[in-house]
């Protein structure tokens, strides 16, 4: 069954090269903007969310849009929602072809609760659950960037607990998510060494690297000076690329391609692969607003206004206008995992 689901995801991704899909197969969904972090690179934590989608609304959305094969649940800190397990169950029960669900965590919530909720999600039978443990530096640096004393040690404890949990659930996958900014420029090797001292089995493949992004609509950090020096950034990424080992599997292949294209993006400032926004994927915030992507703050509709059906939004004149702009190369340039992965998977030759 799992093989058929990943095959279905791959087939749909390739199909999107040649025709417009009737519905998106990937959903990036911010289920809450609540967050306990106090990051130097992001202002989401300053949002005091009110009126976010309630569970029954998300369940209705899931039932009326049963076509997702890939769901990226994000925030804020998604595990702050006490109903996160029920949210995942809603999509698992309705999207029969669902293969992978991904979630980040800052590891600041109670760890017994986190492991309990992750276990319950795994028990739904989703073929692949991927957890990203946010880690932006060695102990002192990570705690400074995240604004929470003791955060590094909490991340390390979550890694240990997830390692134990994976022995029971082989469908669990997890990595450290390292966001490169001017605050940790040149500090990846020291961060890597600090983790490896605690967990000798860790390799460079256990880290997902990305670059801090500017977004007035999502991160609300348009006034921040957070980006590192380009040349130093390229050297650091190339160094990591040279130390990653060859690993069989879709995720390591896509991650390697993501990093290679990230270097290209930094050099040119342009998306290195054809965008899949409003082609294979879209972004929905916790209020039901639908956007082309997580980095493009252009609202094309709200599911509360369409009876929770994506169809009228996906096929609207507004969506077609945005697709036209994308085709003309007028989409805001960015290279984040939320948008890049489906672009890589859906573009023939992009993984090479």
Cβ atoms of 49 and 78 closer than 8 Å: no
Q: What is the mean pLDDT of residues 61-74?
A: 97
Range with the largest mean pLDDT of 5-14, 135-144, 269-278, 336-345: 135-144
pLDDT at 309: 98
Q: Supply the pLDDT for residue 237.
A: 95
What is the spatial distance between Cα 263 and Cα 237, in angstroms, rounded to a whole number?
A: 7
If we measure between CA atoms, which residue out of 139, 133, 136 comes closest to residue 152?
139
CB within 8 Å of 179: residues ≥ 6 apart = 41, 134, 136, 210, 211, 212
2-15+24-346 falls under which CATH superfamily?
Answer: Aldolase class I (3.20.20.70)
Residues 172-198: what's their mean pLDDT? 97
User: pLDDT value at position 9?
Assistant: 60
Tell me the whole-structure pTM to 2 decimals. Answer: 0.92
Residue pLDDT, tens place only, 78-128? 999 999 999 999 999 999 999 999 999 999 999 999 999 999 999 999 999
Is the torsion defined by CA of 150, 153, 158, 159 positive or negative? positive
d(CA 261, CA 56): 40
pLDDT band for position 255 (cuts 50, 70, 90): confident
* 3-class state of residue 153 by DSSP: helix
Q: Where is pLDDT greater, at 319 or 246?
A: 319
Dump pLDDT digits (tens) for 269-305: 888 888 889 989 999 999 999 999 999 999 999 999 9
> On the CB side of 176, how many CA atoms lie within 13 Å of its CA?
29
Q: Region 128-153: what's the mean pLDDT? A: 98
């Amino acid at each position: 069954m799992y093989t058929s689901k990943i095959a279905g995801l791959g087939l749909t991704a390739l199909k999107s090269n040649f025709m417009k899909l009737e519905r998106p197969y990937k959903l990036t969904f911010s289920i809450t903007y609540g967050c306990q972090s106090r990051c130097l690179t992001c202002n989401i934590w300053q949002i005091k969310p009110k009126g976010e989608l309630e569970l029954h609304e998300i369940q209705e959305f899931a039932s009326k849009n049963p076509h997702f094969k890939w769901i990226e649940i994000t925030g804020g800190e998604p595990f702050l929602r006490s109903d996160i397990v029920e949210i995942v169950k809603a999509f698992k029960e309705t999207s029969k072809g669902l293969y992978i669900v991904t979630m980040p965590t800052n590891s600041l919530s109670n760890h017994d609760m986190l492991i309990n909720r992750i276990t319950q999600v795994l028990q739904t039978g989703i073929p692949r659950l991927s957890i990203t443990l946010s880690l932006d530096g060695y102990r002192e640096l990570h705690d400074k960037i995240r604004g929470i004393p003791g955060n590094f040690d909490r991340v390390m404890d979550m890694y240990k607990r997830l390692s134990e949990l994976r022995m029971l659930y082989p469908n669990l996958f997890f990595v450290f998510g390292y966001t490169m900014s001017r605050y940790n420029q040149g500090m990846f090797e020291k961060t890597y060494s600090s983790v490896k001292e605690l967990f000798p089995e860790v390799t460079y493949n256990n880290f997902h690297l990305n670059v801090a992004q500017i977004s007035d609509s999502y991160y609300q950090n348009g006034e921040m000076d957070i980006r590192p020096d380009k040349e130093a950034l390229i050297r650091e990424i190339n160094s990591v690329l040279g130390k990653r080992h060859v690993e069989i599997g879709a995720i390591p292949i896509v991650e390697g391609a993501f990093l290679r294209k990230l270097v290209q993006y930094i050099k040119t400032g342009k998306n290195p692969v054809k965008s899949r926004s409003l082609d294979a994927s879209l972004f929905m915030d916790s209020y039901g607003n639908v956007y082309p992507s997580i980095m493009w703050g252009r609202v094309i509709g709200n599911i509360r206004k369409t009876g929770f059906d994506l169809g009228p939004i996906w096929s609207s004149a507004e969506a077609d206008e945005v697709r036209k702009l994308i085709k003309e190369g007028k989409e805001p340039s960015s290279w984040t995992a939320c948008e890049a992965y489906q672009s890589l998977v859906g573009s023939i030759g992009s993984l090479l």
